[in-house]
C-alpha cells in the first residue's frame, strides 16, 4: 500500500524517510495506485543536473483530464466540482458538478478543435475568475494543447510579449471583467495586444459583463453560440507523461519573463498528492483557495490538485473588499468552507480593518488555514490564527514557487506542530539544502543560507519555453547538482525552515513576483530618464512596496517632478500592469555604483528601508558622494 494520506506526525517521518531513501519506488507506488494511466512508464525517473534534464514516468501515456474528471463520473458525478462565487454577492453562486464540468470541458475542447487547435499548439487564456477559465484550461489539456494563462491584470504589452514568446495561435478572453465595483475592458486590452501578434489566428470571447465591444470579423468569435452547438463528448487525447501541459510566465531578476514549462505526469501526481495531505482534504469538504488561476497557486490548487482528488473547489471572481471587508468570511459561512488558502497580503489588509468584519460570520466550518506567496509576518500569523481559525485550525504556511509546481515546505495539519512564520518541514520527497557563499552545503541546525533542493521531484518545471540555456543558468548553475530557489532560509534548532526572502533582484509585492529589470526597462523608456534602479521596502499590507531611484537626463531641467512620477507609473502600467507601480520615486543625481559599474542595490535598499545607520562601507564605491546626496533628498 502506498502512503497517499498521511494522518500523523510519526507517519510523516516514516513516509518521508521512505521517500528519500528510494524516491523512484516511492513515487511509483503513489502514481500506480492513485491515478489512471493508459500505458505505464518504462522508467520512473531519469535526470542529469548538469544538463538540467529531468524526466518522470517516461513513456507513460495518460490524459490529465481523465484523472480530474472522467474517473469521478461513476462515484462523484453529482458532486460539486467547481463552486463559482460571483463578484456580486447578489448574483447566485453556481455549483458545477463533475458531470456538468466534464460535459462543459468536452464541448469547449470540441470548439477548440473546430477552430483548428491541435495537440502541441499553444493557447493563451486571458480571462477573469469565471468558470470558463478553469474550463478552458481543462479543454486545452483534453486535446493536448498547451495552455498559457496570463493573469487578467497584465497590460496589453505584457500580453503581446507573452503571446509572441510562446507562439500562441489563439487567445481566449471575455468582453470584460468585474472587479469589486469596477469593470475592466479585457477585450480592449486584447485588441491592443493583438496589433503586434502575427501568430494569433482566432480569439474566443466569453460574455461576462455584456458590454459593447469590437469583434473583428473572421478573427473574433463569441464563445457561447459555439459551445451551444458543440458535441458534448470529446475523446481525451493520449499524451506522453513528459509532454508539456502548460506554460506559465514568472518574473526573473533580469530580462524578459520566463515561460516555465510544466509537463503532465509528474505535475499531476505531485499536485494531487500535496493537495490531499497539505489540506487534509476529506470527501465532503469544501475547499477554497483565493488565488487567481492566472498564477501557479490557482493552476495547482484550484484546478488540477483538487479535481484530481475529486474535491469541491471554490472559485471566487471578486476581491476581499467588496462589497465590504467581510466578503471572504461571508463566503466561508455561506458555503461552509472547510479549508481556506490565501496570501499574507490579504490577511494583513483584512486585519487592518478590525475584527468586527470577521466576528459577524460563522466560521465554525473551517478546519485548515493556508498561507502562500511570501513570508507571513508574526502579527499576521497570530491575527489569522486567533480571528479566523479561533486557535483551533492549524495554519499551513506553504513555501513553493511557479517553478516547483507544487508545495515544497509545509506543515501537515494535525500532524506537524506549527510555529509562527515557519514553513516548518519539507514535504514528502523534498530534500532541501542550505548553501553558503562558497557553494558548500551548511549542515546541522540553527543555520542560515541559500535554499536549494538537492533531488528532483515530480512537479518541477522542465525548462523555460524556447530557452533551455536560461533554465539551466538560472536554476542549476549556482550550485552543482542542485536546484537553486533564489530564496534565503534559516533552519532552527529542530530543523524547521523559515523562508527569509529573495536573495536576487526579484521583489515580492502583495505576493506577486516582480523582477526589477523589466520595471527599470519600462522607466528608462521615458525620454527624460537616464537611469533607474528599483528596490523593495517594507510595507505593512503589501509586504514589500517598490521604491524607484531615477536619474534624469538633464539635471538642469525643471520639469515638474510630480508629473514625471505620474508619467513613469503610467509607463509601468502600460508595459507591465498596475501591480508593478512604484510607491515612491526619488529623483537623484546619480546611483551608487561599484568600480565595475554595477548599481549597489544593497545601499539603495537600506536607504529605502530607512536603515541609514546600516549602510556599511561605502568608500569603495565609484561615486561615494552620491550616497549622501540620496540620503539628503529622501522624499
Residue number with CB closer to ligand PRX (26 or 151): 151
Q: What minimum distance in Å lies between the beta carbon of 61 and ligand PRX?
A: 29
Residue number with CB closer to ligand PRX (67 or 513): 513
Q: What are residue 4's phi and psi, to 5 degrees? A: -70, -35
C-alpha cell at 396: 499551513
Residue number with CB closer to ligand PRX (60 or 396): 396
Answer for the pair 277, 428: CB distance below 8 angstroms, yes or no: yes
Residue number with CB closer to ligand PRX (372 or 627): 372
Question: How many C-beta neighbours within 10 Å does residue 559 have?
Answer: 12
Q: What minimum distance in Å lies between the beta carbon of 512 and ligand PRX?
A: 7
Residue number with CB closer to ligand PRX (377 or 618): 377
Q: How far apart are CA 535 and CA 609, in angstroms?
A: 10
Q: What minimum distance in Å lies between the beta carbon of 250 and ligand PRX?
A: 5
Q: How far apart are CA 497 and CA 427, in angstroms?
A: 12
Q: How far apart are CA 302 and CA 138, in angstroms?
A: 12
Q: What minimum distance in Å lies between the beta carbon of 342 and ligand PRX?
A: 11
Q: What minimum distance in Å lies between the beta carbon of 423 and ligand PRX?
A: 5
Between the alpha carbon of residue 402 and those of residues 177, 248, 406, the distances in Å are: 25, 8, 8
Q: What minimum distance in Å lies between the beta carbon of 502 and ligand PRX?
A: 5
Residue number with CB closer to ligand PRX (383 or 400): 400
Q: What minimum distance in Å lies between the beta carbon of 406 and ligand PRX?
A: 9
Residue number with CB closer to ligand PRX (121 or 504): 504
Q: What minimum distance in Å lies between the beta carbon of 403 and ligand PRX?
A: 7
Cis omega (within 30 of 0) for bond into 323: yes
Residue number with CB closer to ligand PRX (41 or 483): 483
Q: What minimum distance in Å lies between the beta carbon of 635 and ligand PRX?
A: 28
Q: What minimum distance in Å lies between the beta carbon of 58 and ligand PRX?
A: 26
Question: How many C-beta neighbours within 10 Å does residue 208 have?
Answer: 21
Where do contacts with ligand PRX occur on this chain (CB under 6 A)?
A: 250, 296-297, 371-375, 397-402, 423, 485-487, 499, 502, 508, 513
* Residue whose C-beta lies closest to ligand PRX: 402
Q: What minimum distance in Å lies between the beta carbon of 241 and ligand PRX?
A: 23
Answer for the pair 266, 399: CB distance below 8 angstroms, yes or no: no
Residue 247: beta bridge partners?
Answer: 148, 261
Question: How many C-beta neighbours within 10 Å does residue 419 have?
Answer: 16
Residue number with CB closer to ligand PRX (169 or 299): 299
Residue number with CB closer to ligand PRX (3 or 263): 263
Residues with Cβ within 8 Å of 141's Cβ and at least 6 positions away in sequence, in order, are: 63, 64, 65, 147, 245, 246, 264
Q: What minimum distance in Å lies between the beta carbon of 555 and ligand PRX?
A: 37
Answer for the pair 150, 123: CB distance below 8 angstroms, yes or no: no
The dihedral formed by the CA atoms of 203, 153, 472 and 170, expressed in degrees to the nearest 10: 0
- What does the DSSP assignment read for 415-472? TSPP-TT--BSBPTT--EEEE-TTS-EE-SSSEEEEEEE-S--TT---EETT-HHHHH
Q: What minimum distance in Å lies between the beta carbon of 376 and ligand PRX?
A: 7
Residue 220: beta bridge partners?
Answer: 203
Strands 94-97 and 80-85: antiparallel
Residue number with CB closer to ligand PRX (252 or 310): 252
Residue number with CB closer to ligand PRX (111 or 579): 579
Q: How far apart are CA 98 and CA 94, in angstroms?
A: 13
Q: How far apart are CA 490 and CA 492, in angstroms?
A: 6
Q: How far apart are CA 452 and CA 439, in angstroms?
A: 11
Q: What minimum distance in Å lies between the beta carbon of 401 and ligand PRX?
A: 4
Between the alpha carbon of residue 209 and those of residues 98, 141, 182, 314, the distances in Å are: 26, 27, 11, 21
Alpha helices by DSSP H, 286-424: 296-298, 305-308, 327-335, 344-352, 356-359, 378-383
List own/partner pairs for 33-39 with CB under 8 A and 24 or more apart: 33/1, 33/2, 33/4, 34/2, 34/4, 34/269, 34/272, 34/273, 35/62, 35/67, 35/268, 35/269, 35/272, 35/308, 36/62, 36/66, 36/67, 36/71, 37/61, 37/62, 38/62, 38/63, 38/238
Residue number with CB closer to ligand PRX (213 or 296): 296
Residue number with CB closer to ligand PRX (252 or 326): 252
Amino acid at each position: 500500500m502506498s502512503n497517499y494520506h498521511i494522518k500523523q506526525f510519526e507517519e510523516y517521518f516514516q513516509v518521508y524517510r521512505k521517500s528519500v531513501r528510494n524516491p523512484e519506488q516511492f513515487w511509483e507506488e503513489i502514481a500506480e495506485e492513485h491515478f489512471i494511466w493508459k500505458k505505464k512508464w518504462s522508467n520512473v525517473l531519469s535526470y542529469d543536473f548538469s544538463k538540467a534534464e529531468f524526466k518522470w514516468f517516461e513513456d507513460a501515456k495518460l490524459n490529465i483530464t481523465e484523472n480530474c474528471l472522467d474517473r469521478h463520473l461513476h462515484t462523484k458525478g453529482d458532486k460539486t466540482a467547481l463552486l463559482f462565487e460571483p463578484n456580486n454577492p447578489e448574483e447566485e453562486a453556481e455549483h458545477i458538478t463533475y458531470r456538468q464540468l466534464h460535459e462543459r470541458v468536452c464541448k469547449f475542447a470540441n470548439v477548440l478543435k473546430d477552430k483548428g487547435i491541435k495537440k502541441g499548439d499553444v493557447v493563451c487564456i486571458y480571462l477573469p475568475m469565471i468558470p470558463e477559465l478553469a474550463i478552458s484550461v481543462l479543454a486545452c489539456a483534453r486535446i493536448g494543447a498547451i495552455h498559457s494563462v496570463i493573469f487578467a491584470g497584465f497590460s496589453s504589452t505584457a500580453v503581446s510579449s507573452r503571446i509572441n514568446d510562446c507562439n500562441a495561435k489563439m487567445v481566449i478572453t471575455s468582453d470584460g471583467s468585474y472587479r469589486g465595483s469596477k469593470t475592466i475592458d479585457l477585450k480592449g486590452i486584447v485588441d491592443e495586444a493583438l496589433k503586434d501578434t502575427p501568430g494569433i489566428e482566432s480569439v474566443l470571447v466569453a460574455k461576462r459583463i455584456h458590454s459593447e465591444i469590437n469583434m473583428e470579423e473572421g478573427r473574433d468569435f463569441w464563445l457561447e453560440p459555439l459551445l451551444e452547438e458543440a458535441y458534448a463528448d470529446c475523446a481525451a487525447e493520449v499524451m506522453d507523461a513528459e509532454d508539456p501541459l502548460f506554460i506559465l510566465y514568472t518574473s526573473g531578476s533580469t530580462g524578459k519573463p520566463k515561460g516555465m514549462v510544466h509537463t503532465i505526469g509528474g505535475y499531476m501526481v505531485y499536485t494531487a498528492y500535496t493537495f490531499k495531505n497539505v489540506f487534509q482534504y476529506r470527501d465532503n469538504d469544501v475547499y477554497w483557495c483565493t488565488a487567481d488561476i492566472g498564477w501557479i497557486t490557482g493552476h495547482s490548487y484550484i484546478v488540477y490538485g483538487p479535481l484530481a482528488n475529486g474535491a469541491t473547489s471554490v472559485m471566487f471572481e471578486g476581491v476581499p473588499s467588496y462589497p465590504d471587508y467581510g466578503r471572504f468570511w461571508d463566503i466561508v459561512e455561506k458555503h461552509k468552507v472547510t479549508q481556506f488558502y490565501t496570501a499574507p497580503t490579504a490577511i494583513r489588509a483584512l486585519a487592518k480593518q478590525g475584527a468586527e468584519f470577521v466576528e459577524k460570520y460563522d466560521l465554525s466550518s473551517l478546519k485548515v488555514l493556508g498561507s502562500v506567496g511570501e513570508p507571513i509576518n508574526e502579527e499576521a500569523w497570530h491575527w489569522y490564527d486567533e480571528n479566523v481559525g479561533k486557535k483551533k485550525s492549524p495554519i499551513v504556511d506553504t513555501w513553493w514557487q511557479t517553478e516547483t509546481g507544487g508545495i515544497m515546505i509545509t506543515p501537515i495539519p494535525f500532524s506537524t506542530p506549527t510555529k509562527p512564520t515557519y514553513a516548518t518541514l519539507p514535504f514528502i520527497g523534498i530534500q532541501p539544502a542550505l548553501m553558503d557563499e562558497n557553494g558548500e552545503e551548511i549542515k546541522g541546525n540553527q543555520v542560515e543560507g541559500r535554499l536549494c533542493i538537492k533531488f528532483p521531484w515530480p512537479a518541477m518545471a522542465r525548462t523555460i519555453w524556447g530557452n533551455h540555456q536560461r533554465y539551466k543558468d538560472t536554476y542549476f548553475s549556482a550550485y552543482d547538482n542542485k536546484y537553486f530557489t533564489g530564496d534565503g532560509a534559516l533552519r532552527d534548532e529542530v530543523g524547521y525552515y523559515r523562508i527569509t526572502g529573495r536573495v536576487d533582484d526579484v521583489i515580492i509585492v502583495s505576493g506577486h513576483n516582480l523582477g526589477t529589470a523589466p520595471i527599470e526597462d519600462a522607466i528608462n523608456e521615458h525620454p527624460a530618464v537616464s537611469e533607474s534602479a528599483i528596490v523593495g521596502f517594507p510595507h505593512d499590507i503589501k509586504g514589500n512596496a517598490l521604491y524607484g531611484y531615477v536619474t534624469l537626463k538633464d539635471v538642469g531641467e525643471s520639469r515638474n517632478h510630480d508629473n514625471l512620477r505620474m508619467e513613469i507609473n503610467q509607463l509601468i502600467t502600460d508595459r507591465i500592469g498596475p501591480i508593478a507601480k512604484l510607491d515612491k520615486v526619488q529623483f537623484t543625481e546619480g546611483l551608487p555604483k561599484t568600480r565595475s559599474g554595477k548599481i549597489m542595490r544593497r545601499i539603495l535598499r537600506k536607504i529605502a528601508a530607512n536603515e541609514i545607520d546600516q549602510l556599511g562601507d561605502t568608500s569603495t564605491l565609484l561615486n561615494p558622494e552620491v550616497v549622501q546626496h540620496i540620503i539628503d533628498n529622501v522624499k
